[in-house]
Amino acid sequence: MDVLLSKELERFVSDQVQRGHYLSTDEVIGEALLLLKREEQLKEIQREELRKEIQKGIDQIRTGQSTTYTSGEALVEEIISRGMQRLAEKEKQKNG
C-alpha cells in the first residue's frame, strides 16, 4: 500500500523516527492508525451510552417521571438550586 502524505506530515513522521520514538516510518503510521482505531471505538462507545441515556429519558417521560416547567427561567432556577445543593453536599463531605 502506498500512502501519500503532505510535506508537513512527512516531516513529522521522519522527525519521530529520527528522535528514536519509532524504529521506522511504517511503525509511526501503524501507531497512528491504531490510535485512530481506538478513538473511533471510543466514539462508538460514547454514542451507545448517549443512545441509552436518551432512551432512559424517553422511558421516564412515558412513565410520568418528568417535570414540566412553565418557563425557561423556572428551569434555570431549578438547575441552579440543584447545583447549589450538590456543592453544599460536597463541602459538607470535605469538611466532614
pLDDT given for residue 70 in this prediction: 92
Please tell me the predicted confidence (pLDDT) of residue 96: 75
Q: Is the pTM of this model over 0.75?
A: no
What integer is the mean pLDDT of 46-56? 98
Residue 58 contacts residue 52 (beta carbons within 8 Å):
no
Question: ∠ CA(51), CA(54), CA(59), 5° rounding?
Answer: 125
pLDDT tens readout for residues 4-50: 999 999 999 999 999 999 999 999 999 999 999 999 999 999 999 99
